[in-house]
Amino acid sequence: MSRTGGLTLACAILCFLSLSHACPKECSCNSNSKVVDCRGRGLYDIPRKLHPDTQELYLQDNRIRGLGSMAFREIPFVRILDLSNNSVTSVSPTALLGLRSLQHLSLAYNSLRELDKRLLGPIHSLSHLDLSHNSLWGLPGAMGDSLRNLSHLGLAHNRLTRLDRSLLETLTHLDSLTLQGNPWRCDCQLIGLKLWLETYLFKGGVVDEVLCSQPEEMRDRDLQKVPYQLFHACMTTSYHYLFANIHHLESERRLRGGGGGGSVPECETKQKQRPVNLRHAIATVIITGVVCGIVCLMMLVAAVYGCAYAAIMAKYQRELKKNEELAAAQGADHATADEKEPLENAIA
């Protein structure tokens, strides 16, 4: 009886454990592929009692409005998480805490206005991030450390007017980028993005069009096709243009240098010819440097000339005053002599 009772207890415990992680009734689960499909079920929240071994969770086409802290703590090994086409307006900075294996995240077709820089902090395996069709005004530059391994970034159809270049510089493994459908403001602040896109395309990256919305004279023009001459006015109003060119050239130099002492293959592919716009940018930086050097030299010459002129004039004034004093003394002597001569004649 004791052996039978122990067996019964063990079975009961196993049944309880299996039931505690059973497939949520709103979803369909595949235990072999470890996929949980909850698409289009009218869900308002993340389903509970998910199996901890779940690797793919599909939650698109629901009515989820927010993601709270550690919303996916039950599935720490999930690799694909799709929350597209919901009504998500807020995401807690710790919503994805614990998902160290996450590779694919989609928050497309929601109502996000901003993302906290800490959201993707603990995740370094992310390779695909889709944030398109939201209301994002921008991405925090500090988020770049979590996006280093991204191969795809979707930012199309948001409210972006500019994009931090320091963030883009960290995306060294990026293969494709979507930026269309944003109200880009093509002014001096966007010259950095233009230069980065040129380098990115030169290295073989894929990006859709970036159409300007502002200012009015650039509306519907593709940023990649806007000539650099139209940005020359920036040089008289700010330093963004010059600094962006210098940063761009430094990036190009590191790119050509290989960033280290790696071995050079015997048969290198022929390097593409630099685009005309890049040559214009280089020429502009060189000309600006020459002009600045000439101006500095002229200022130095003017300073030396001014000092020399002041010294000469001071010496001249001293000599003039000395001569005047000497002439006055001589005049006084002559006057005294003239007065003595008639007196001596009278005595005689």
In tens, the pLDDT along 32-59 reads 999 999 999 999 999 998 999 999 999 9
What is the CATH topology of the domain spanning 20-230? Answer: 3.80.10
Residue with tokens 């243009």: 241
> Has residue 12 got a pLDDT over 50?
no
Residues 6+ apart with CB under 8 A from 82: 57, 58, 59, 60, 104, 106
Q: From CA 21, how far away is CA 271, in angstroms rounded?
A: 56
| DSSP 8-state secondary structure symbol assigned to residue 269 | P
> Residue 59 is which amino acid?
L
Q: From CA 216, how far away is CA 301, in angstroms rounded?
A: 45
Q: From CA 74, how far away is CA 54, in angstroms rounded?
A: 9
Q: From CA 133, how far away is CA 181, in angstroms rounded?
A: 9
Q: What is the pLDDT of residues 156-211, one digit of tens each?
A: 999 999 998 888 999 999 999 999 999 999 888 888 899 899 999 999 999 999 99
Other CB atoms within 10 A of residue 235 CB:
15
Following DSSP, what letter does each residue of 114-176 receive, concatenated? ---TTTTTT-----EEE--SS------GGGGGGGTT-SEEE--SS--S---HHHHHT-TT--E
Residue with tokens 């630099």: 274
pLDDT over 90 percentage in the chain? 44
**Of the candidates 31, 24, 85, the residue with the CA atom closest to the CA atom of residue 56:** 31
Predicted pLDDT at 315: 81
User: For residue 234, what pLDDT band results from cuts at 50, 70 and 90?
Assistant: low
Q: Which helix (H) or strand (E) holds 214?
A: strand 212-214
Following DSSP, what letter does each residue of 49-81 receive, concatenated? S--TT--EEE--SS---EE-TTTTTT-TT--EE
User: For residue 278, what pLDDT band results from cuts at 50, 70 and 90?
Assistant: low
Which tokens hold the place of 248?
């761009």
Q: How far apart are the first and last CA of the chain?
A: 174
What's the predicted TM-score (pTM) here? 0.64
Cβ–Cβ < 8 Å for 208, 184: no
* Listed ranges 18-32, 50-64, 310-324, 330-344; the one with the highest mean pLDDT: 50-64
Residue with tokens 């996450």: 102
How buried is residue 82: exposed, middle or buried, by Cβ count under 10 Å (0-12/13-18/19+)?
A: buried
Q: What is the pLDDT of residues 57-91, one digit of tens each?
A: 999 999 999 999 999 999 999 999 999 999 999 99
